[in-house]
Amino acid sequence: MSGPRIGVLALQGDVREHVRVLGGLGAEAVLVRRPEELASVDGLILPGGESSAIDKLSRAFGMQQPIRSAIADGMPVYGTCAGLILLADRIADGIAGQESFGGMDVTVRRNAFGGQTESFETSLDVPAVGAEPVRATFIRAPIVAEAGEGVEVLARVEGGRIVAVRQGNLLGTAFHPELSGDTRFHELLLAAVRTAPRLSGPPRATGSPRA
C-alpha cells in the first residue's frame, strides 16, 4: 500500500527540501499550485520562504480560499518559518495588505531574530518528538508572540520565545527541520494524516502532478 499523499505548496520557498524529506519517509509528495491538486492530497506543507510573496501568489493562483477551507475541514497542515506565519490568525507586523490562511490561534512576529545575516542554528528540547534535542535552523525566523489557550507550545528558545506550536491538526515551527535532516516534525504531520477522519471518507481526486 502506498504512503499518504502529502502536498507541498509550491508557489515560492524551499519546496524541494520538503519533498525530499517526505520521500524518505515513504510518503507521496505532490506539488500543489492549483485547487484540484490540493483536493488530491491528505495533508499539506506550507514551506519557508517569503510569507508576503506566498500570500500574494496564493491569491493570484486562486489558492487562498481552498486552503482556508481545507484547514477548516480538518486537513493536517505543517508550516515552517513563513508557513507558520501563514497559519497564524494574527500577524503583528505584516506588510500593508498582508493576509494569512489562518486557523491557528496565535500571533506571530516576522523576522523576530533579525535579517539573513543573523541566521543561526541551535539545539532545542522538544519532548513531543522525543528525548533527543532537535537541531534547529533559524533563517529570518518569526516567533509566536502570543498563543491562545488551545495552542500547545512545543518548543522555546533561550529567553522563553515560542518557536514551535500545535493546535489540533495544525503544526508550525519557526525553524527549518527540513534543512537540518531532522524528520520528526514531518513524522508528526504524517501521524496526524493517518488518524485524520477525512481519510476514511470518499477517495480524493487523482491525477495531480507528482514531485
CB 71 within 8 A of CB 101: yes
Catalytic residue among 18, 37, 178, 186: 178
Give the separation between CA 129 and CA 43, rounded to whole angstroms.
19
Strands 88-91 and 104-109: parallel
CB 48 within 8 A of CB 81: yes
Catalytic residue among 118, 176, 186, 187: 176
Catalytic residue among 28, 37, 81, 186: 81
DSSP structural state of residue 127: G
81 an active-site residue?
yes
DSSP 54-101: HHHHHHHTT-HHHHHHHHHTT--EEEETHHHHHHEEEETTPPTT----
CB 140 within 8 A of CB 113: yes
Give the separation between CA 147 and CA 161, rounded to whole angstroms.
11
Give the separation between CA 79 and CA 91, rounded to whole angstroms.
15
176 an active-site residue?
yes
186 an active-site residue?
no
Looking at the annotation, which residues are catalytic? 81, 176, 178
